[in-house]
């Protein structure tokens, strides 16, 4: 009979590493998203990441954000190393009602900010009703 040595904290440690990441596999970048009128705003926290290491790609309606926090090299001894290093990646599926050709991106104070406008075809619009009087029996014509 094979007995397995059980560790009650092993599963908890595994879950913690999946959620918070480790130095070998960093956690996903924290994000906030909201709507401001006719545009959506998305912000990613990337403290300590150099702007040149950030890469934004969009294929069909999938936005991929990649960034890298590079470890320091040199003649020094680490006393604490809690901040994850390495490559980060996150993908977002954007709706068809967004104008993916006009996305704006900026990076200030460790925050990557994307502004995605709503597509013109998805904005509400008024429909003008034209036609003849009800007495003539002709159907009304609707134009947009």
Q: What is the 3-class SS of 67-102, one letter each residue?
A: EEECCCCCCCCCCCCCCCCEEEEEEEECCCCECHHH
- Asked if 83 contacts 69 with a C-beta cutoff of 8 angstroms, the reply is yes
Q: Residue written as tokens 């590493």?
A: 17
Residue 16, in any domain of the structure: no
Residue 118, in any domain of the structure: yes
Residue 21, in any domain of the structure: no
Residue 68, in any domain of the structure: yes
Total domain count, the chain:
1
User: Model-level pTM greater than 0.85?
Assistant: no
Residue 1, in any domain of the structure: no
pLDDT at position 69: 87
SS3 1: coil
Q: What is the pLDDT of residues 16-68, one digit of tens each?
A: 555 555 545 555 689 999 999 889 999 999 998 999 999 999 998 899 999 99
> DSSP code of 65?
E
pLDDT of 4 > 60? The answer is: no
Residue 117, in any domain of the structure: yes
Cα-Cα-Cα-Cα dihedral sign, residues 120, 121, 126, 127? positive
Residue 12, in any domain of the structure: no
pLDDT at position 19: 54
Residue 17, in any domain of the structure: no
Name the residue range of residue 97's domain. Answer: 27-143
Q: The CATH number of the domain where 139 resides is what?
A: 2.60.40.790
Which residues share a beta bridge with 141? 130
Q: Which of 119, 113, 112, 125 is nearest to 61 (CA)?
A: 119
């Amino acid at each position: 009979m094979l007995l397995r040595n059980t560790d009650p904290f092993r599963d908890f440690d595994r879950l913690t590493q999946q959620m918070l990441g480790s130095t070998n596999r960093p956690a996903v970048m924290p994000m906030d998203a909201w709507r401001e009128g006719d545009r959506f705003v998305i912000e990613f926290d990337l403290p300590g990441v150099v702007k040149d290491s950030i890469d934004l790609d969009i294929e069909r309606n999938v936005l991929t954000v990649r960034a890298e926090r590079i470890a320091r090299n040199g003649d020094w001894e680490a006393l604490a190393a809690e901040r994850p290093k390495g490559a980060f990646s996150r993908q977002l599926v954007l709706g068809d009602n967004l104008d993916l050709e006009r996305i704006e991106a900026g990076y200030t104070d460790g925050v990557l900010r994307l502004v995605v406008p709503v597509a013109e075809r998805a904005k509400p619009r008024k429909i003008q009703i034209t036609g003849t009087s009800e007495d003539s029996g002709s159907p009304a014509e609707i134009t947009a």
